[in-house]
Amino acid sequence: MRLAELAWSRSNMGRSGPAIEGRWSRRTYPLIVALHASVLALTLVRGRRPRIPWLVALLAVQPLRAWVLRTLGSRWNTHAAVPETMDVVTTGPYRFVRHPNYAVIGVELAALPLGFGLPALAAAATVANATLLAARISEEEAALGRLPGWEEHFSGKKRFVPGLF
């Protein structure tokens, strides 16, 4: 699924025209790809007996991921690159929060290793992901803030979970 998403992202970036991608987004992108690949590989290699509640959490966020991808359509990419002429998306999960996809990824990076008995990997992945996203999100929001209507819609919205953080 991740490989298909990377291909779709590349295709979307090719269609979107000129885009703003921050310096930290470019720098952290290979690290984010490596983090995701490492969590998948280490879980496959080192995972133990499944822990059903965590796997249910992992599965439970997949409809939200699909909702995000469907809502953004060709605007979605893995680089946090913002097309210069993009219309602001205020429907779907974006009615409630600024970055629902990052919330899904956070759950996935914790729930997958926890679902296979790897709490240290879950903690390390969560900390690494938060660190990598910290600068990236600021740059992405600065680029989005240049688009007409973004500030008006998102200034009062939380980043990840309505009412939290």
pLDDT under 50 in the chain at which residues?
Answer: none
Select from 13, 27, 28 the least CA-distant residue to 86: 13
pLDDT digits (tens, 9 = 90+) for 20-44: 788 888 999 999 999 999 999 999 9
pLDDT in the model for residue 81: 86
Spans of all domains in the chain: 2-11+19-79+86-154
The one-character DSSP state at 82 is E
User: Long-range contacts made by residues 51-57, C-beta under 8 angstroms, separation at least 24?
Assistant: 51/114, 51/115, 51/116, 51/117, 52/115, 54/111, 54/112, 54/114, 54/115, 55/111, 55/115, 57/107, 57/111, 57/115
Three-state secondary structure call for residue 153: helix
Tokens of 108: 């996935």
Tokens of 31: 């690290």
CA torsion through residues 78, 145, 163, 129, sign: positive
